[in-house]
Structure 1
Amino acid sequence: MHHLEELTVVWRSAILPREYRPRGPLVEVHLVPAAPERYGTPELERVRDELAAGFTRAGSSAGGAWAFSTAEDRGLAVLSGGQRTCWFPFEEDDLAACVAGRLHRLLALGLPLPDSFAPAIGLDPVASTIKVAARSASSPGRIRIGTEEAFSPDELRRTSREIAKGLVARLAAPLG
Structure 2
Amino acid sequence: MTGATRNPPFGLDLSFDEALARFIQTDRNEALAAEVADGRSIRGSSLLTWQKSLSTTDAQQPTKGGIVPYLRLTSGNISTGIFQTWFRQTLFANAAWQPGQFNGKPVEEAHIPLNVTIQGIYLGMVLFKVTHDSTRQDNNDAPNTWLHWPDQIATILHNNNFSGHVVTVTRDNAGVFSLTIQ
| Shared fold, TM over 0.5 | no
Q: Which has the larger radius of gyration?
A: 2
TM-score by length of 1: 0.30
TM-score by length of 2: 0.29
Which one has a larger percent helix, Structure 1 or Structure 2?
1
